[in-house]
Structure formats: structure tokens, C-alpha cells
């Protein structure tokens, strides 16, 4: 009977050892699955970070393209408009130097209407100009051509007006200023 008990104990031990081996194997498989899960989670985190960077890069690109487009529009507009400014200056000279007795002429009215239309077109393109006479000289807006006895740095006469597109000066005004004498 002890032989039978020993055989039974040995069978039970073998079964337990096989069960222990199966448990250890299952534990190793579970650890591998956990490792794979951990690797997948890390890959997901890396992909999320990559997506966030890509989205930020895309938004920066959109902003840069918008800024470049705006700058290009301003550059082209300023370049084209600067070609027409001498014509506007000449029309203004004609209007200001026409004697009163000739201002009733239809040709004079036609010149004034062309000048007015050009100024309206400039205004529609956000191009502005202002009178400088009586103002203090601003180096960002005015080129001093000469000085005369008058209040110091006050503009006496304007040869050409200054024009500005948004915050960018297209052309500085050419002016005569007081010398303070």
C-alpha cells in the first residue's frame, strides 16, 4: 500500500509539476502579451505626438502662406501704384495751375473727373495720402528737399504727396520746411 501511495504521490507531483510548468508558460505568454501591449501603447503615444507635430506644422504653414500672400499683394500693389503716382501728380499740377477763367472748360472738368476716379481707385485699394503742409516733418513720411525761413521743421510746401498702403509707405512726400530763421 505504501507503494501505491508513493505512486499516487508521484503521479500527483508530476501532475502538479506539469501544472506548474503550464502556469509558468502561461505567465511567460502573459508577460509577452503585456510587453506587446506596452509596445503598442508606446507606438500609439509616438503616433499621437507625431500627429500633433504634423498638425502644428500644417497650421504654421497655413499662417505663413497667408502672411506671404498678403505681403506679395502689398508688394505688387505698391509696385504697380507707384508707376501711376507721377500721372496723378501731373493731374494735380494741371488742376492747381489752371487759371480761374479756364476752369469752366469741359476739358478741365474731364481732367478733374479723371483725377477723382484715380483717387477713388487708390482708396479702394487701401492706399491713403494726407496733406503735409502745416505739419511737422516726419522722417518716415517726408523727404526734405529744401528749407526756407519759417517755423523750424514745419512743412511750408509739398512738391509731391506721400502715399501709404496699410502701414507701408509707397512714396515719401517731397517737401520744403521752415529753417527756424
Residue 20's pLDDT is 77
Nearest to 170 by CA among 145, 150, 148, 141: 141
- In tens, the pLDDT along 162-180 reads 999 988 899 999 999 998 8
Q: Which helix (H) or strand (E) holds 155?
A: strand 155-160
What mean pLDDT is reported for the chain?
88
Average pLDDT over residues 61-75: 94
pLDDT at 158 exceeding the cut of 90: yes
Residue ranges per structural domain of the chain: 130-181
What class, spelled out in words, does domain 130-181 have in CATH?
Answer: mainly beta
Instruction: Report the pLDDT value the prediction gives residue 33, as an integer from 0 to 100.
Output: 78
**What backbone phi and psi angles, to 5 degrees, belong to 136?**
-80, 145
Q: At 79, list the grid cell.
A: 509696385
- Provide the pLDDT for residue 3: 63
CA distances 51 to 42, 43, 55, 62, 66, Å, are 14, 12, 6, 16, 22
Phi-psi region of 160 (alpha: psi -120 to 50; beta: other; left: phi over 0): beta
Amino acid at each position: 500500500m505504501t507503494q501505491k501511495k508513493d505512486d499516487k504521490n508521484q503521479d500527483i507531483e508530476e501532475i502538479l509539476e506539469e501544472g506548474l510548468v503550464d502556469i509558468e508558460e502561461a505567465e511567460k505568454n502573459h508577460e509577452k502579451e503585456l510587453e506587446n501591449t506596452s509596445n503598442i501603447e508606446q507606438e500609439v503615444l509616438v503616433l499621437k505626438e507625431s500627429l500633433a507635430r504634423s498638425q502644428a506644422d500644417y497650421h504654421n504653414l497655413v499662417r505663413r502662406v497667408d502672411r506671404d500672400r498678403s505681403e506679395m499683394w502689398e508688394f505688387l500693389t505698391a509696385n504697380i501704384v507707384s508707376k501711376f503716382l507721377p500721372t496723378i501728380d501731373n493731374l494735380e499740377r494741371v488742376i492747381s495751375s489752371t487759371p480761374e477763367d479756364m476752369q469752366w472748360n469741359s476739358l478741365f472738368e474731364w481732367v478733374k473727373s479723371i483725377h477723382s476716379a484715380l483717387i477713388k481707385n487708390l482708396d479702394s485699394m487701401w492706399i491713403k495720402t494726407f496733406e503735409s503742409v502745416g505739419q511737422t516733418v516726419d522722417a518716415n513720411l517726408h523727404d526734405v528737399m529744401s528749407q526756407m525761413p519759417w517755423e523750424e521743421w514745419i512743412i511750408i510746401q509739398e512738391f509731391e504727396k506721400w502715399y501709404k498702403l496699410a502701414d507701408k509707405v509707397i512714396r515719401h512726400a517731397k517737401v520744403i520746411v521752415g529753417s527756424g530763421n
